[in-house]
Structure formats: structure tokens, C-alpha cells
Amino acid sequence: MTAESESFQLSSGVTVVFESMPHTESAAISVLLPAGVVREAAGRNGTSSILTEMLPRGAAGMSSRELCAALDNLGLQRHLSNSSAHLTFSGATTADRLLHAVPLIANMIRSPHLEETDFLASRDLVAQSLMSVEDEPRQQLSRMLRKCAYPAPWGNPSDGEAEDLPAITLDGIRDHHQRFVTPRETIIGIAGNLELTAVRDALERAFGDWSGEELPEVICGDVVPSPCHVHHKSAQTQIGVAWHSVPVSSPRYYDAWAAVSLLSGGMSSRLFTEVREKRGLCYAISASLSCLKDEARVMACAGTTPERAQETLDVMVAEILRLHEDITEEELQRCRARARSSLIMQQESTSSRASSLARDMYLLNRIVSLDQIHEHIRNVTLDSVREFILDHPPQDMALVTIGPAALDPATTRQAAS
């Protein structure tokens, strides 16, 4: 039913996953570079974020403005971001022009200028964006919840820590680039109306002669203890809870996915129905499965005015704890239907295909076709989901609140006992 993807390695060791999408007019690329937050030196959280800001500021023989103009003239819609594991470049344009952008993207990645003036400007911009996060409790919540859910450095915020920024130097940025923007664990996802041979040639020319060292192992530290409350004179209290689940590589991953989908996959799912529709306690409520390569957490968040915050937390946790109860076939069928349609619609977007291909290769070291995912989803049963939830109960919940007053964490502790 769906297109076949192919994966191959360039001479440099870069892994490429390609999917031909002949019915589209566009093409997209997603480059995962193993230079994320977990590679930062201790006390230098923000290095990866500053490097992300600096990469497009001139490369090889081109100034920042020349590079920007060249990419704009190719119509390349682009985005650079960083996460715990990666620094990611993603871009999309019409299919006839994507491969012309590849040499420019390669220059940006391999030979950025990384000069003093740009370093100072980039560090200032990262500092300012951290100040903005302080002003927005919802953004602050996701930073804090991650810190309380994952051990450092996996829980370190991708945008950095304000108090670490002054100690980060240009040499530190250059070192991070030299050691971690390297071919060994780089993955390129590419999808669109393109031919395999042309893709292979263009990528080999741009990335084939690239060399770099092996990556060291990441040493894990501690989680930030919770319950954790951050005082904020905000109109709402933001509430976040997190607990353990299983990663994509687990044979039970699709049961884990279904469990979160029952909780928060659509507007008929449990959290939305019980907290918002039946009780009117909040506007925004959601839960999602966050996956690292070897670990995963479910993170559930809601925002509500302080006088309703305790009830919101209590109802949320109660729903999470009773998730294994009364699951119906109809409920599960809705999860399957949502997944089926979203997988099919993914084939309409070269950008989402390119990033999914790269992400799957990182998480699983292999390609998963959309047909295989459909098959896995069809195979999830009432019993398999229920057993999964009972085997992986929401214990040791992390709790973070941000707002005018802390909440009583009793319900989340019940979960631990």
C-alpha cells in the first residue's frame, strides 16, 4: 500500500534513509547531528543551543547574508533546533531544487564560521529567549517537568540554563562542534519526488569525505527531586505529572502508545472528557509519550486557575490510575482509527516523512514501513493494553506545579504506594 524506503551509508559513515514520494511536488530533508544537550560539558547547559543559533551565520566561502540569500532563492523553508540527543536541521522546498541546496546545507553543518561577534550575539539571543520562558509559565512547566522526569543530562533543558551561559565560551562552542557534529552517528532522512541515484550522488558529494571521531558514552546523573513547585504570580497554575513507560524499541511499545492514546489521543479520550468536558476544569489538557532511545515517559499537563488546581490535579491523577479499568473495544478502535488516518496523511507531507524516517532510524536502527506500523496497531488488543498498564503502573510520578501556590501531592503519592 505504501512506498518502500531505502537506507544506505555514505563513505563517511553517515546513515541515509530515503523514501520516494512521486505524487508530491516537494522534497524535504532532516539531518540529525549527534550534538544535542547530552553532549554538553557539565555546567555549560546552553552550548548546543548557542551552536544551533550560530550554524547559519556564514559557512565555507559564504557570509551569513550570502548563505541566507542562496537558500532563500532555492525556496528552502528551513529550521534548526536542538534536543537532548540532537542538533537538527530540517528543510523543504520544491523537488527540483532540494538537491541544489544540499551542498549549502553541508557547508553550514561542516564548515560554519563560528566567529566571536556571532558568538556574542547568539549567546545574547539564547539568554533573552530564556528570560521570555521565565515570563511564560506553560513553557517553564515543560522545562521543569523534563528535569524531574529524566536524569541529567537527558533531562537538561534544550534551550539551556541562564546561570550557565556566562561560562560558555567561543572555544567551548568550537569544541562542541568539532567533537559532536560528526558523521559517525549522523542520520539523514530525505523524502519527496526524487530519484534514489540522484539523492545518493548529491549526498555522497556533500558528506562523503567527512571524518570525525567516535562519540564517548553519556554518563547519567540524577533527576531533580519532585514534587517541585515554582512560584509565579500567574493567572493560572500549570500542573505537570510524568511517569515511566517503554521506548519505541520495546516489543510492548504499541501497547504503551495505545495506553496514552486512550488517555489523551483525541477529544473523546479520557482526560479531555473527564477533566474538561464533564467538569469544565481547564481549557488545555493533554498527555503524550516522550521517547528517548532507551527510555520513555508519559507526560501529562494541564493549566487552570489556582482555586480549581487541586481538583484538576486530583481528577487527572485518578483518571491516570484507573486507566486499566473498563477499557472498551470501541475506545481502542478509536485509537486505531486516529493512528491509521494520521499515518496515511503523513504520506501527503514530505517534511513529516523525512523527519519520521530519520527519527525511526535513530530510535530503532532500522526502517519501519508505514505498512508495518499499521500492522502493529491492528495487533494491539484490549488484553495487551490492559496487561501493559498493569505491568507498567504509573508509579513514582513526578509532579511539577507553577503558579501562585503549591498543591497537595497526596494523590500522586498514592500512586507510588
Partner 1 sequence: MKFEHRQLSSGLTLIAESNPAAHSVAAGYFVRTGSRDETPAVSGVSHFLEHMAFKGDERYSADDINRIFDEIGARYNASTSEEITMYYAAVLPEYLERTLELLTTLMQPSLRQDDFDMEKNVILEEISMYDDQPSFTCYDNAMATHFCSHPLEQSILGTNESITALTSQQMRDYHRQHYHTGNITLVVTGNFELETLLNAAEKYCSRIPQGEPRRVLPQLQPEKRIRLVTKEDAHQQHIMQMGCAPAGDDPLRYPAELLSVIVGDDSGSRLFWEIVDPGYAEACDLGFSEYDGVGAWMSYLCCEPETAAENLERCRRVLEEVISDGVTAEELEQARNKVAARVVLRGERPMGRLSSLGGNWVYRNEYRSVAQDLQIIRSITADQIHDVLRQFPIRMNTTVGVGPLAELTVN
In the complex, least distance from residue 28 CB atom to partner 1, rounded to whole angstroms: 9
Site for partner 1 in 344-363 (CB under 8 A): 344-345, 347-351
Q: Residue 108, interface with partner 1 (CB under 8 A)? A: no
Cβ-based nearer residue to partner 1, 10 or 315: 315
- Cα separation, 43 vs 166, in Å, equals 10
Q: Residue 120, interface with partner 1 (CB under 8 A)? A: yes
Name residue 75's amino acid. G
Binding residue (CB under 8 A) for partner 1 from 217, 233, 326, 417: 233
The bridge status of strand 285-291 relative to strand 296-304 is antiparallel
Q: How many residues bind partner 1 (CB under 8 A)?
A: 73
Q: Residue 395, interface with partner 1 (CB under 8 A)? A: no
Long-range contact set of residues 346-352: C-beta below 8 Å, sequence gap at least 24: 346/370, 347/2, 347/3, 347/21, 348/24, 349/28, 350/21, 350/24, 350/26, 350/27, 350/28, 350/92, 350/191, 350/192, 350/193, 351/28, 351/30, 351/90, 351/92
Binding residue (CB under 8 A) for partner 1 from 9, 11, 333, 379: 333
Binding residue (CB under 8 A) for partner 1 from 128, 169, 365, 414: 128
For residue 335, give the 3-state DSSP assignment.
Answer: helix
In the complex, least distance from residue 236 CB atom to partner 1, rounded to whole angstroms: 5
Q: Residue 23, interface with partner 1 (CB under 8 A)? A: yes
Element (DSSP H or E) covering residue 28: strand 26-33
Q: Residue 124, interface with partner 1 (CB under 8 A)? A: yes
Cβ-based nearer residue to partner 1, 135 or 213: 135
Cβ-based nearer residue to partner 1, 279 or 366: 279
In the complex, least distance from residue 80 CB atom to partner 1, rounded to whole angstroms: 10
Q: Does residue 114 contact residue 122 with C-beta atoms inside 8 Å?
A: no
For residue 257, give the 3-state DSSP assignment.
Answer: helix
Burial of 292 (0-12, 13-18, 19+ CB in 10 A): middle
In the complex, least distance from residue 154 CB atom to partner 1, rounded to whole angstroms: 27
Binding residue (CB under 8 A) for partner 1 from 235, 382, 390, 405: 235
Q: Residue 401, interface with partner 1 (CB under 8 A)? A: no
- Cα separation, 205 vs 11, in Å, equals 10
Q: Residue 73, interface with partner 1 (CB under 8 A)? A: yes
Dump strand ranges (E) for 169-209. 187-192
Report the Cα 254 to chain-centroid distance in Å. Answer: 18
Element (DSSP H or E) covering residue 33: strand 26-33
Site for partner 1 in 259-298 (CB under 8 A): 265-269, 272-273, 276-284
Q: Residue 121, interface with partner 1 (CB under 8 A)? A: yes
In the complex, least distance from residue 29 CB atom to partner 1, rounded to whole angstroms: 13
Q: Which three cell numbers stand for residue 56?
A: 547559519
The span of 196-204, 329-337, 392-400, 408-416 binding partner 1 (CB under 8 A) equals: 329-337
Dump strand ranges (E) for 213-336. 228-231, 237-245, 285-291, 296-304
Contact flags string 293-322 toward partner 1, x per CB under 8 A: ----------xxx--x--------------
Q: Residue 132, interface with partner 1 (CB under 8 A)? A: yes
